Homo-oligomer: A and B are copies of this chain.
Amino acid sequence: MKLTQSTCKICKGSESSLFSCCTPEEIENLNLATNCSFYKKGQPVFQEDSMPVGLYCVSEGLVKVTKLGSNGKEQILRIAKPGDLVGYKSLIMSMRYKASAIAIEDSSICLIPKSQFQELLNSNRAFYDGIMQLLCEEIDSAETKITDIAYKPVRGRIAEALLLLNSSFVDKEQITLTREDLAGLVGTVKETAIRIISEFKNENLIEINKRSIKIINEQGLKKISHLYD
């Protein structure tokens, strides 16, 4: 994978990015202060219980945000893709991270220093509002996840996760997560995830090349995912 030197303009470009509400000068300031680095697949960006020093913005690659559960299993809370911010909650609360972030692909990730972030928060109301929206969305998805994990069978959760992954990463059309990460995402173990994936394959809902999964019957998966609503 080739990694270009990132600038915040790139992220501003992505329509989903929060930086779209920043002025050119603000972006320029960010650029000056911001520190982009490269993370190899598997490398941690930050760790649960450490203190945040700034806000991370994924420029290229993919990052999983995980929390350690009982018996050491890891629950994936969300997966951040280019343009996504990571670690803002702990930064806002000025508390230790309650989760870890780990690159699951070779990634380029920028660090916006805490001071810059706070300045933006203070000076740019739209930015502040945007962060608030992000927080609200995160609550929504967390609450949905709670309800799913509590009552929806693994089969339904995997179907749902595949659909979600597919819709978020439209560009690539292939889901390349490790089976173990997929399991962590829906709160089950590797083996169970694998079994269900092969069921889906046998039912012609998905195709598998090498490790990566391609959805070929979206409707079917949707039906399975909502079977129990």
Complex CA gap A179/B121 in Å reads: 44
Tell me the interface secondary structure of chain A in the complex: helix
> For A99, what are the chain B residues with a Cβ–Cβ distance below 8 Å?
143
Select A135's contact among B68, B139, B153, beta carbons within 8 Å.
B139
CB distance from A77 to the nearest CB of B (A): 6
Select A136's contact among B67, B92, B128, beta carbons within 8 Å.
B92
Residue A152 at the B interface, CB < 8 A? yes
Select A139's contact among B69, B73, B142, beta carbons within 8 Å.
B142
Select A73's contact among B70, B92, B143, B151, beta carbons within 8 Å.
B151
Within A34-69, which residues are at the interface with B (CB < 8 Å)? Answer: 67-69
Complex CA gap A188/B98 in Å reads: 25
Residue A25 at the B interface, CB < 8 A? no
Tell me the nearest residue of chain B to A135, going by C-beta. B135
Asked if residues B145 and A69 are in contact (CB atoms below 8 Å), the reply is no
> For A152, what are the chain B residues with a Cβ–Cβ distance below 8 Å?
69-70
